[in-house]
Structure 1
Amino acid sequence: MSYLASNLRYLRKVKGITQSDLADQLDVQRTMISAYEDGRSEPKLATLLKISELLEVGLEELVEHDIEQLGRRALQKRKLNILTIAADQNDKENITLVGQKASAGYLNGYADPEYMETLPQFHLPNLSRQATYRAFELAGDSMLPLKAGTLIIGSYLDQLSQIKSGKTYVLVTQTEGVVYKRVFNYLAENGKLFLVSDNDHYKPYEVRGEDVLEVWEAKAFISTDFPNPGDKKTPLTLEDLGKMIQDIHYDLKKITG
């Protein structure tokens, strides 16, 4: 069964593209787009390939997978890269520390066992042995009240679908390098993640799912900077998160519009 008609209609609307806009980009009449989406006509191969490119979806997925009902197949099921793990002489996993200066090299060496052995390693008590952890040193002030130099202890996720909107993660990406952000998962809708800083002086931005190399869910942090009661920041509430999500939807409409 072909899902081309429903997928074309769904993905076009998700991206905020009108039938007229799509027709202009494909150099066809708007009525032809309507015919494609109603299943009354099918595009020629050259047009189909261009549709696939414009909607940022694989040709096979566009035609054979029910994206609206089942989500983006390629991203939901894609596993991340095989993880290089450091262990001590008792075969107990260490926590590898990726410092600020090492973060640039980490993008190229994260899968190289020899490189990983050059990075500092340590243990922490009371962490579940059912997970693998890594520590990343923060740079800058985009995630206040956590300041530069804070160590984020992250638990490894092996699938992008495990990312829960509103939580904080360390992402290793081909485009942005190593970043620590609050992440909103829109993979099922448009194949992208929306990254938000807790410091509102920094604008949110998107990364494509296929550009993500590693994901670490923040579980703890280590800091030598003790909080000042006079500078105390109120933790995020459910109401705060709700407003943040509304703002993100508004920003997404501006980006895709």
Structure 2
Amino acid sequence: MQKYFSKNLRFLRKKQNLTQLDLAEFLGKTKGLISCYEKGTAEPGMDVLLRISHKLGVNLHDLCTKDLSTDEKFLTQGELTPNLDDFKERLSLIKQRNAKTDVNGSYSEAVHLSEEVIEFLQNMDKRLLDASSELESVLNALRK
């Protein structure tokens, strides 16, 4: 696991413009521990691995067993998982412009943004189902 996990963690974190501190705060860990994960001198527990895979928008199996820095899917994407805060910020900007400009243009932007949010949530639902199936497989393997 360590061979790929450490490299993928660093790659995906940077790909999403997250600092070690950002990830540490999300996980309730220290920046130093995130650094150790990336160097391969410490390994997270299963609960932390699941939270990392969710935050970085990648399934747990791929995070731990593949070199994602060479995966075309990850190389061509900008930010891998849209952040709901980004949607909120964009919607706020649309509202501000709405007060100053024509309503129809802002309305179209809001509709487009709403469609993006719906698509994002549908994808998150699929990822949660994948993660649930993955966790069930891991638990079944551990029980054997």
Q: TM-score range by the shorter chain?
A: 0.5 to 0.7
Task: Determine the C-alpha separation between the residues in 1 that align with 2:7 and 2:67.
Answer: 8
- Post-superposition Cα deviations, 1:51-92, rounded to whole Å, max 9, x if no partner, equal 11111110001111111112348xxxxxxxxxxxxxxxxxxx
Residues 72, 191 of structure 1: 8 Å contact kept: no
Residues 72, 187 of structure 1: 8 Å contact kept: yes
Larger Rg: 1
Tell me by how many angstroms 1:188 deviates: 7.7
Higher strand proportion: 1
1:42 match: 43
1:61 match: 62
1:124 match: none
How high is the TM-score relative to the length of structure 1? 0.31
1:28 match: 29
1:9 match: 10
Query: Secondary structure of 1:190's partner?
Result: coil
Tell me by how many angstroms 1:186 deviates: 4.7
- Name structure 2 gaps, 5 residues minimum: 83-104, 124-144
How high is the TM-score relative to the length of structure 2? 0.53
Higher relative contact order (CA 8 A, sep 6+): 2
Residues 22, 33 of structure 1: 8 Å contact kept: yes
Mapping of residues 51-90 of structure 1, within 5 Å: 51-72=52-73
List structure 1 segments (4+ residues) > 4 angstroms apart after TM superposition: 185-189, 201-208
2:19 match: 18
- Report the CA distance shift for 1:48/1:5 in structure 2 as closer, same or farther (over 3 A): same
Mapping of residues 191-230 of structure 1, within 5 Å: 201=105, 203=109, 206=116, 207-208=119-120, 211=123
- Post-superposition Cα deviations, 1:116-162, rounded to whole Å, max 9, x if no partner, equal xxxxxxxxxxxxxxxxxxxxxxxxxxxxxxxxxxxxxxxxxxxxxxx
Query: Secondary structure of 2:18's partner?
Result: coil
Task: Determine the C-alpha separation between the residues in 1 that align with 2:76 and 2:34.
Answer: 25
Task: Determine the C-alpha separation between the residues in 1 that align with 2:77 and 2:31.
Answer: 28
- Give the AA of the match of 2:30: Q
Count of residues in Structure 1 that have an aligned counterpart in Structure 2: 91
